[in-house]
Amino acid sequence: MQAPGRADEDLRGGFRHGGWAVPHNDLGRRSYEQMLGSWNARGGPYKDALNNAPKHVVSSNPATKLDWPNSTLVHGDVPAVVAELKQGSTGDLVIIGSGQLIRSLLPHELIDEYLLLIYPLVLGSGQRLFEPDDHLTNLRLVESTPTTKGVILATYEPI
């Protein structure tokens, strides 16, 4: 099993996603809290990469407490802050989970790429990534890779 979690990732079999390629993480508060509980206490290169990477945490509460190293609170005009982060960034800004954050950025066309993992499963309930009244965004499939378990890793760009 391979994953982009270490600088010295196993690249056998044509795996091109090795190395920690996420210099900045943008998270909604709920995603931040879920990841904090799961990853902050773990050891190893993946934990080190997550702890050392800057994390921008979006919350409507300006008093939100951030306990994870290298975390900065973002509140107020979130699209303006994200646009400023994109302008000043030397690498990709990656949103992990955080559907509400993604939906808030859609009308401002601040998302350059979507990497979606599509599972062969219909849940029928739960949170949606996109809502019926979201900003219309046409996407172009850039790449898709099926796994042996039927999961499709799909990369899309807005057109």
Mean residue pLDDT across the chain? 82
Secondary structure (DSSP) of the chain: ---S--TT---GGG----S---SEEEEEHHHHHHHHHHHTT--SHHHHHHHHS-EEEE-S-TT----STTEEEE-SSHHHHHHHHHHH-SS-EEE-S-HHHHHHHGGGT----EEEEE-S----SS--SS-TTSPP--EEEEEEEE-TTS-EEEEEEE-
Give the model's confidence band at 41: pLDDT under 50 very low, under 70 low, under 90 confident, else very high.
low
Give the model's confidence band at 123: pLDDT under 50 very low, under 70 low, under 90 confident, else very high.
confident
Residues of CATH 3.40.430.10 domain(s) within the chain?
Answer: 18-110
- Which class does domain 18-110 fall in? alpha beta
Task: Note the pLDDT tens digit of each residue in 48-74.
Answer: 777 788 888 999 888 889 988 889 999
pLDDT at residue 143, as a whole number: 96
